[in-house]
């Protein structure tokens, strides 16, 4: 299993094959996947995003996607293939992200999560995220979001 990461400095190098695997994983594994056009916009402006990938040989088995401003990392997606879950892979991806973003001097990791997504909420709580507040009808489905934050500075 190997971890690869992509950010501003090597954003031009995300192979099309990996882009396609990311779109397929999102479609297959997320309850509310992004439209292909949305993914194309992201890949077109990939310099604005950070990506951590987990590969088993050449097969994508998990990823974290987010965007960063000078102080914060905004986590947009964390996904692990079904057959690879509960083996600590999301934890490995997240530990890598934390070390990376701490080195970059970020103060917080911020995210929103659907209040029905118990496994993700459990994962975030285990990783010291606190719920700052909830926002009703945050998603187009009408669902409430938990707005969560993990502080990185000591
Ligand atoms: C959330 C997700 C990324 C976790 O991936 P994973 O590789 O299975 O997670 P890990 O094995 O690293 O789990 C680490 C910890 O998270 C928690 N956790 C993970 N999955 C859980 C579940 N289904 N139920 C409860 N807790 C869970 C546990 O505390 C776990 O530690 P433990 O196994 O020692 O109890 C995975 O379930 C997933 O891809 N879900 C669909 C995508 C999604 O909804 N992502 C979040 C919103 S973008």
User: In angstroms, rounded to a whole number, what is the distance separating the alpha carbons of residues 89 and 96?
Assistant: 11
Instruction: Please report the atom of ligand 1 found closest to the CA of residue 94.
Output: 12
Residue 154 has pLDDT above 90, yes or no: no
Read off the pLDDT of residues 107-134 as tens digits, 9 standing for 90 and up: 999 999 999 999 999 999 999 999 999 9
Q: Which two tokens stand for residue 67?
A: 């965007």
102 closest CA partner among 76, 77, 72: 72
Share of the chain above pLDDT 90, in %: 80
Range 63-80 burial, b when 16+ CB lie within 10 A, else e: bbbbebeeebbbbbbbbb
30 closest CA partner among 76, 87, 68: 76
Q: Whose CA is nearest to atom 23 of ligand 1?
A: 119
Backbone angles phi, psi at 56, to 5 degrees: -110, 110
**pLDDT category of residue 151 using cuts at 50, 70 and 90:** very high
- Cα(135) to centroid of ligand 1, in Å? 23
- Cα(12) to centroid of ligand 1, in Å? 30
- Cα(95) to centroid of ligand 1, in Å? 13
Domains of the chain: 2-151 (3.40.630.30)
User: In angstroms, rounded to a whole number, what is the distance separating the alpha carbons of residues 93 and 62?
Assistant: 8
Q: What is the pTM of this model?
A: 0.94
Q: Whose CA is nearest to atom 29 of ligand 1?
A: 123
């Amino acid at each position: 299993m190997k971890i690869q990461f992509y950010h501003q400095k090597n954003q031009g190098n995300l192979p099309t094959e990996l882009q396609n695997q990311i779109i397929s994983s999102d479609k297959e594994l997320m309850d509310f996947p992004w439209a292909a056009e949305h993914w194309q916009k992201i890949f077109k402006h990939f310099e604005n995003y950070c990506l951590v990938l987990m590969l088993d040989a050449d097969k994508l088995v998990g990823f974290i996607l987010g965007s960063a401003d000078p102080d914060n990392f905004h986590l947009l997606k964390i996904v692990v293939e079904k057959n690879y879950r509960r083996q600590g892979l999301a934890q490995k991806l997240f530990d890598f992200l934390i070390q990376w973003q701490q080195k970059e001097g970020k103060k917080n990791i911020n995210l929103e999560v659907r209040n029905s997504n118990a496994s993700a909420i459990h994962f975030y709580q285990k990783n010291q995220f606190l719920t700052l507040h909830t926002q009703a009808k945050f998603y187009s489905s009408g669902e409430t979001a938990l707005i969560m934050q993990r502080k990185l500075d000591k």
